[in-house]
Amino acid sequence: MTTNRTLYLIACAAPPARRLSVPIKAAQQAGWDVCLILTPSAHRWLTEDAEGEMEALEQLTGHPVRHQYKLPSQPDVLPPPDAMLVAPLTNNTLAKWATAVSDTLALGLITEGIALVPIIALPHFNDAQAAHPAVQRHVDFLREAGVTVLLGEGGFTPHKPKHGNLDAYPWQAAIDALPA
Ligand SMILES: Cc1cc2nc3c(=O)[nH]c(=O)nc-3n(C[C@H](O)[C@H](O)[C@H](O)COP(=O)(O)O)c2cc1C
């Protein structure tokens, strides 16, 4: 087992964000020190719609859960990453990431991260969202840039609208795809 490597888990506002203890525990078992970063929308879900969740996740990871940029005068509170897992990846963050928008901490980390560390991305969106013509282009673009996007066979398959199955979200495929 590898030890002492830091994984940034970056979670967007899609239903699997309600189950972040699952990938955190799995990555920890694989030897990763996990730091959790949320998009502002995911942070809202976990603070306004889930009592005690943030405290539980901070206790589980042993790190503050971050969701916004620090001020220039403030120190970094997380260790530097060796890899990143973006899961769940929303349609919204996918589009912004592929076009290098970095107006949230999550996007800032993953836009820069392409040049710095291995990144695995596990999307979660329905097949109507996936049918937008820009989506496949964004996925192709990120793959060409070196990001492992687990969409389709061996990863996440978009569901019919309103028919998502949280139990079927393939967290383990993302953990298995992390660097050895
Ligand atoms: C109940 C609910 C479920 C949602 N599920 C998804 C989803 O599975 N995939 C997705 O791309 N967006 C989903 N959205 C929309 C995103 O939350 C929305 O686009 C948000 O702006 C994403 O912000 P973020 O990418 O910064 O996290 C959902 C919204 C709600 C309210």
Give 70-128 pLDDT, tens digit per residue.
999 999 999 999 999 999 999 999 999 999 999 999 999 999 999 999 999 999 999 99
CA 122 to ligand 1 center in whole angstroms: 14
Q: Does the Cβ of 91 fall within 6 Å of ligand 1? A: yes
Cα–Cα distance list, 102 to 70, 105, 108, 172, 174 (Å): 14, 7, 4, 28, 23
Q: Does the Cβ of 12 fall within 6 Å of ligand 1? A: yes
CA 3 to ligand 1 center in whole angstroms: 33
Q: Does the Cβ of 96 fall within 6 Å of ligand 1? A: no
Question: Is the per-residue pLDDT at 2 higher than 50?
Answer: no
* Distance, CA of 109 to chain centre: 11
Q: Does the Cβ of 13 fall within 6 Å of ligand 1? A: yes
Domain count, the chain: 1
CATH of the domain at 43: 3.40.50.1950
Domain of residue 135, residue span: 5-70+77-176
